[in-house]
Amino acid sequence: MIQIKNVHKSFDDLAVLKGINLTVNKGEALSIIGGSGSGKSTLLYCINAIESIQQGQILVDDIDVHASHTNQDKLRQKLGMVFQQWNAFPHLTVLENAALAPRIVKKMRKEEAIEIAKKELIHVGLGDKLDMYPTKMSGGQQQRLAIARALAMRPDYMLFDEITSALDPELVGEVLDTLRMLRDDGITMICVTHEIAFAREVSDTVAYFHQGVIEEIGPPEQVISNPQKQTTQHFLRKVL
């Protein structure tokens, strides 16, 4: 379970998160929607301890993410993260990309790491690209590689930060299909996304972020199909 309790975060004088409260249970899918600068990506970075917080608490399976005694490198093994930019390591083949972290972080034997990496790559449909270098692949394929690479660490939670935003429109579909598949696998996920239709389809809960606060939260039927707040209605009118 991920618990976010009254989290405040600012960059210098700019308050980005102003008291966020959220709970994500195992097996749930939460989508976070909202305009740019609403703080939605920052929250993911805080959950993953990439960014610090000024106030409040984030608990991942009861581990306090930002406590000084927390081993954040170890904590990140519980949290797979995929970014807007796909970040495939260009000096490694597709298979090596996915096998590296299991081998050096989890200290798996090489054969074991390769087996797991292969399995995840086949799962996201890259089984025929194992020995390729990622720079020769499309953005959609590289993004699926990033997903498989994160999954190969067998994380308990997946964080997706606008993973289709940088893709050419015709490549968005294949990445969303991969996410749908993960959803069917029952993987717990938090998706920061601009794909409203996708959020409606796969989420248990949708949160609408506006200027650093959660303006509206609930099941997609409510937040997306029948928003109560004016700000939410206004946002959805613009993006839909």
Scanning 2-10, 84-92, 190-198, 203-211 for contacts with other proteins by CB under 8 A, the matching segment is: 84-92
From residue 4, alpha-carbon distances to 46, 183, 227 in Å are 10, 22, 23
From first CA to last CA, the distance across the chain in angstroms is 31
Which of 13-21, 34-42, 80-88, 117-125 is the region at the interface with other proteins (rule: CB under 8 A)? 80-88
Contact (CB, 8 A) for 20 and 1: no
Asked if 235 and 35 touch (Cβ cutoff 8 Å), the reply is: yes
CA–CA distance, 100 with 92 (Å, rounded to integer): 9
129 binds other proteins (CB under 8 A): no
Nearest partner of 219 among 231, 234, 204, judged by Cα? 204
Q: Which of 25, 27, 61, 74 binds other proteins (CB under 8 A)?
A: 74
The reply to whether 110 sits near other proteins by the rule CB under 8 A is: no
Shortest spacing between CB 178 and other proteins, in angstroms: 17
8-state DSSP, 226: S
Site for other proteins in 147-176 (CB under 8 A): 149-150, 153
Q: Name which position in 64, 89, 204, 217 contacts other proteins (CB under 8 A).
A: 89
Taking CB under 8 A as the criterion, the residue among 3, 85, 138, 222 binding other proteins is 85
Minimal distance, residue 49 CB to other proteins, in Å = 9
**Which member of 67, 104, 197, 239 binds other proteins (CB under 8 A)?**
104
Distance CA 159, CA 58 (A): 14
Of the residues 48, 164, 178, 203, which one makes contact with other proteins according to CB under 8 A: 48
Please report whether residue 183 would count as binding other proteins according to CB under 8 A: no
Q: Are 8 and 19 in contact (CB under 8 A)?
A: yes
- Determine if 87 is a binding residue for other proteins (CB under 8 A): yes
Tokens 């581990």 belong to residue: 63
Pairing state of beta strands 14-24 and 2-11?
Answer: antiparallel
Q: Near other proteins by CB under 8 A, which window of 120-128, 146-154, 205-213, 229-237?
A: 146-154
Rounded-to-integer distance, Cα 37 and Cα 27, Å: 28
- Closest of 113, 111, 129 to residue 121, by C-alpha: 129
- Which segment (6-14, 32-40, 72-80, 224-232) binds other proteins by CB under 8 A? 72-80
CB of 182 to other proteins, least distance (A): 17
Minimum gap (Å) between residue 238 Cβ and other proteins: 28
Reading the block at residue 155, the tokens are 């994380």
Q: Which two tokens stand for residue 65?
A: 């993410």
Note the residues at the interface with other proteins (CB under 8 A). 48, 50, 73-74, 76-77, 79-81, 83, 85, 87, 89-91, 100-101, 104-106, 146, 149-150, 153
